[in-house]
Chain A
Amino acid sequence: MRSTRFLALAAVGTLTGGALAACTSDKTDGAAAAGGPIAVTATDSACELARTTLDAGTAVFKVTNSGAKVTEFYVYADGDRVMGEVENITPGLSRELRVELPAGAYQASCKPGMVGQGIRTALTVSGSAAPLAEDAALAQASADYSRYVRSQSTALVDKTAEFVAAVKAGDVAKAKALYPVARTYFERIEPVAEIFGDLDPKIDGREDGATKELPFTGFHRLEKDLWVGGDVSKDGAIADQLDADVRAIAAKAQAEKLSPLQLANGAKELLDEVANGKITGEEDRYSHTDLWDFAANVEGSKAAVAALRPALVKRDPALVKSIDEGFAKVDAELAKYRVGDGWKLHNQLSEAQLKGLSDAINALAEPISKVAGVISGK
């Protein structure tokens, strides 16, 4: 089931470029934009920014989580194109986001509980900035998405470490709670993860796909032991292996740079993942937490398409409109099944409800499947 259809990748060492964002913990950078960092106070129900008008250039946000839930902070351009984000801001923690913002209208968003649209605040950036030429816009898309992958994979490493620690400590309840959350970061960047041969099946393989060479390990092996047996006392080695594999894949993912075409295909593949694996409930067959993966796949797809948005808007505005409508429909359909900070379990949904989700995904995947052709520009 996991075939990689990506083209051979031209690996790029380190990234340079305007959209380079770096996160540092509790450290203010002297080279920050005029006026110093913008303080963001995030709670479980609010997202307060000290300033909402700023000058074009490098903006620095210092996000402090004063709530009880893990939060995320995003800066979005039109169409939810991610200009920069920090993930996994645990309660009490402060993290910084440095992001290059040309003049324009943006939205800041805190996401307590890591899901949904978040609590949004309009940002106005003024100054002079020439709009990017089309080729530059595409190059920018790759850089933007690389940054997204970097921050997601960093959070994946952190959350997986927490999950693994809970498993090794025998804390079944805590491990069960962390399982779908850690997977969220993986599922958002799944097409990237799938590039790396055996690492993906080792991390995310299912029991039916196991072979003598690649036995049943990773997230789903621990899922089975947590939910079916409730006993992870013998899973220390499996847990350590997952931790190591996730670190390895994160390091590789951060060194990759996807071409615009790969981004387009990745956006489609994420939706195929939903259609083939999550709608059917086969991904998380023991925990039934498929809707966490579903939402993460959709978010990842949106991030990939949004990175391409400036070029897409120039080339095919009608397609952008139908994609926007498609995402809105999926979000609305999915929102019906929110429970607190999470989702209903797959086995709590009726056939008719699953069909509603399936229809929404199919309706979105059709226009998304046309993006690659538009991007290739032939």
Chain B
Amino acid sequence: MTESTVSRRRAIALAGAGVAGIAGAAAVGGAVVRTAEQSHPAQAGAAAADAIAFTGAHQAGIVTPAQDRLHFVAFDVVTKDRARLVRMLKDWTAAAARLTAGRDAGEIGAVGGILEAPPDDTGEAIGLPASGLTLTVGFGPTLFRDAAGKDRFGIAAQRPAALVDLPHFPGDLIEAPISGGDICVQACANDPQVAVHAIRNLARIGMGVVTVRWSQLGFGRTSSTTRDQATPRNMFGFKDGTANLKAEETDLLRDHLWVQPGDGPAWMTGGAYVVTRKVRMLIETWDRTSLGEQEDIIGRTKGSGAPLGRADEFDEPDLEAKRPDGEPVIAIDSHVRLAHPTQNSNARMLRRGYNFVDGSDGLGRLNAGLFFIGYQRDPRTAFVPVQLNLARHDAMNEYVRHVSSGIFACPPGVTGASDYWGSTLFA
């Protein structure tokens, strides 16, 4: 067993006895944060239990092959003390490095400490592998200036122009308590318990500095982010993300995903902007809709996912094709047509959404839908125009309600053991 694949159980044994029972004391033994040199990027198609490298030029969890589970959280910062915020970001980074390697959140661990002290890991992931966990951080507009316009942490001048306040889109039913936030963390893993464990421990580490504003669980990735992955289905039963940006398309990623030098403030170079939207689907009425109408609304066949009028899922939609009656094969108000790059000045995003079912509502309806997550180089030329187009014309609007919204600037990757989340912004 190499150092870079130390299991939780082994790490506990290494942390061992003799650890000082004082908060902040370094653990003795071998349970140290893995350094960048020891990590290796996960291969596409790696086993679901494997660890994904935490460090790199870009943050993991964006072009990483989309894992099956999500716990997304948005925090509000409650301290006014910049140094305390930076200290927490460093603590978070150290914990994230350990967690993504399949280790405990803290140096002592879930069961490695003295009986009189609370463990520095909550313990529900004992015995579970890394499970492809990625943790991705982003900074919201309100971190730079509060509602009153106050520069909260001396970084207001660093707010990128691309980090816009999202406009109100026609039909939006946005609920403020589950929208926005100063900092977001996206936890994705192949095991829901691993994703939740990570967020739970980060929230605990952040007590007094941040408070959880809202969080969302998701399952069944609704996008494929590599060519190896089969396209999954959303809660409408349709394949979702066929035309997504893929990790292998490096030229497209450069043009559409990663922030390039000169785009804006240097701290975001190598990063990306993420937009989140909680889209409630009116499942029961959708399910009563005829197959033909469902396919017309989406613009794809429900079985293979092929664009209407084509044979294969990955065939390009023919937006010019006409039916015998002269109407377009792919309807003017269909989702595929309205979202297609050719209809949106070539706008592309890397979508990474998840299905959600938050139980049922008081009317006995499934509280379900899509938690949309879209990464892009500039929301002003990607998400915003595309969503305006959809919000105005999409036939699907009859069956969906956008109830939450968020936008965050995700900085570039953590380069090594001494680097931390947000270092380029707070340095």
User: Does A359 contact B116, Cβ atoms closer than 8 Å?
Assistant: no
Q: Which residues of the other chain, A, contact B1 by a CB distance below 8 angstroms?
A: none
In the bound assembly, the distance between CA atoms of A261 and B24 in angstroms comes to 20
CB-contacts of A2-19 with B (<8 A): none
B22 interface hit (Cβ, 8 Å): yes
Nearest chain-B residue to A351 (Cβ)? B177
User: Does A377 contact B211, Cβ atoms closer than 8 Å?
Assistant: no
**Which single member of B117, B207, B208, B209 contacts A373 (CB below 8 Å)?**
B117
Known: A316-B23, A319-B23, A373-B22. A366 touches B208 (CB 8 A): yes
Known: A261-B116, A359-B78, A369-B118. A374 touches B208 (CB 8 A): no
User: Does B24 contact A372, Cβ atoms closer than 8 Å?
Assistant: no
Interface residues on B, range: 10 to 19
Nearest chain-A residue to B78 (Cβ)? A359
| Nearest CB in chain A: distance from B37 CB, A | 31
B406 interface hit (Cβ, 8 Å): no
Nearest chain-B residue to A367 (Cβ)? B23
Nearest chain-B residue to A373 (Cβ)? B117
Q: Which residues of the other chain, A, contact B23 by a CB distance below 8 angstroms?
A: 316, 318-319, 367, 370, 373-374
B21 interface hit (Cβ, 8 Å): yes
Total contacts A-B at CB 8 Å: 57
CB-contacts of B176-230 with A (<8 A): 204, 207-209, 211
**Which single member of A261, A318, A355, A363 contacts B208 (CB below 8 Å)?**
A363
User: Does B207 contact A374, Cβ atoms closer than 8 Å?
Assistant: no
User: Does A316 contact B22, Cβ atoms closer than 8 Å?
Assistant: yes
A51 interface hit (Cβ, 8 Å): no
User: Does A373 contact B113, Cβ atoms closer than 8 Å?
Assistant: yes
Q: Which residues of the other chain, A, contact B208 by a CB distance below 8 angstroms?
A: 322, 325-326, 329, 359, 362-364, 366
In the bound assembly, the distance between CA atoms of A335 and B116 in angstroms comes to 33
Q: Which residues of the other chain, A, contact B425 by a CB distance below 8 angstroms?
A: none
Nearest chain-A residue to B213 (Cβ)? A355
B155 interface hit (Cβ, 8 Å): no
Tally of contact residues, A, Cβ under 8 A:
26
Q: Interface majority SS on A: helix, strand, loop or mixed?
A: helix
B311 interface hit (Cβ, 8 Å): no
Nearest chain-A residue to B118 (Cβ)? A369
Known: A373-B113, A373-B114, A376-B114. A366 touches B22 (CB 8 A): no
In the bound assembly, the distance between CA atoms of A101 and B204 in angstroms comes to 40
With a 10 A CB-CB cut-off, give which of B22, B24, B114 has the most chain A CB atoms: B22
A378 interface hit (Cβ, 8 Å): yes
Give a binary string over A336-378; 1 marks a CB under 8 Å from any B CB, 0 the rest: 0000000000000000000100010011111101101111111
User: Does B117 contact A372, Cβ atoms closer than 8 Å?
Assistant: yes
| Nearest CB in chain B: distance from A247 CB, A | 34
Q: Which residues of the other chain, B, contact A325 by a CB distance below 8 angstroms?
A: 208
In the bound assembly, the distance between CA atoms of A54 and B370 in angstroms comes to 71
A174 interface hit (Cβ, 8 Å): no
Q: Which residues of the other chain, B, contact A318 by a CB distance below 8 angstroms?
A: 23-24
User: Does A363 contact B22, Cβ atoms closer than 8 Å?
Assistant: no
A315 interface hit (Cβ, 8 Å): yes
Nearest chain-B residue to A365 (Cβ)? B207
| Nearest CB in chain B: distance from A368 CB, A | 10
User: Does A378 contact B21, Cβ atoms closer than 8 Å?
Assistant: yes
| Nearest CB in chain A: distance from B300 CB, A | 42
Q: Which residues of the other chain, B, contact A370 by a CB distance below 8 angstroms?
A: 23, 117-118
User: Does B114 contact A378, Cβ atoms closer than 8 Å?
Assistant: yes
Nearest chain-B residue to A315 (Cβ)? B22
CB-contacts of B111-126 with A (<8 A): 113-114, 116-118
Q: Which residues of the other chain, A, contact B113 by a CB distance below 8 angstroms?
A: 373
Q: Which residues of the other chain, B, contact A363 by a CB distance below 8 angstroms?
A: 78, 207-209
User: Does B117 contact A366, Cβ atoms closer than 8 Å?
Assistant: no
**Which single member of A316, A355, A364, A378 contacts B116 (CB below 8 Å)?**
A378
In the bound assembly, the distance between CA atoms of A224 and B402 in angstroms comes to 44
Q: Which residues of the other chain, A, contact B24 by a CB distance below 8 angstroms?
A: 318
In the bound assembly, the distance between CA atoms of A375 and B21 in angstroms comes to 9
CB-contacts of B7-57 with A (<8 A): 21-24
Q: Which residues of the other chain, B, contact A365 by a CB distance below 8 angstroms?
A: 207
In the bound assembly, the distance between CA atoms of A372 and B211 in angstroms comes to 25
With a 10 A CB-CB cut-off, give which of A316, A359, A363, A378 has the most chain B CB atoms: A378
**Which single member of B78, B116, B204 contacts A372 (CB below 8 Å)?**
B116
**Which single member of A316, A364, A366, A373 contacts B204 (CB below 8 Å)?**
A366
In the bound assembly, the distance between CA atoms of A316 and B22 in angstroms comes to 7
| Nearest CB in chain B: distance from A272 CB, A | 12
In the bound assembly, the distance between CA atoms of A363 and B21 in angstroms comes to 20
Q: Which residues of the other chain, A, contact B22 by a CB distance below 8 angstroms?
A: 315-316, 319, 373-374
Q: Which residues of the other chain, A, contact B118 by a CB distance below 8 angstroms?
A: 369-370, 373
Q: Which residues of the other chain, B, contact A315 by a CB distance below 8 angstroms?
A: 22
| Nearest CB in chain A: distance from B146 CB, A | 15
Q: Could you name 11 residue pairs across A and B whose Cβ atoms are closer than 8 Å?
A: A316-B22, A362-B208, A362-B211, A366-B204, A369-B117, A373-B22, A373-B116, A373-B118, A374-B23, A374-B117, A378-B114
Interface residues of B (CB under 8 A from A): 21-24, 78, 113-114, 116-118, 204, 207-209, 211
> Closest 8 A-B residue pairs measured CB to CB?
A373-B117, A363-B208, A376-B116, A359-B211, A366-B207, A378-B21, A370-B23, A373-B21
Interface residues of A (CB under 8 A from B): 261, 315-316, 318-319, 322, 325-326, 329, 355, 359, 362-367, 369-370, 372-378
Beyond the given A315-B22, A318-B23, could you list 5 further A-B residue pairs with CB under 8 A, ordered by the A residue number?
Answer: A316-B22, A319-B22, A363-B207, A366-B204, A373-B22
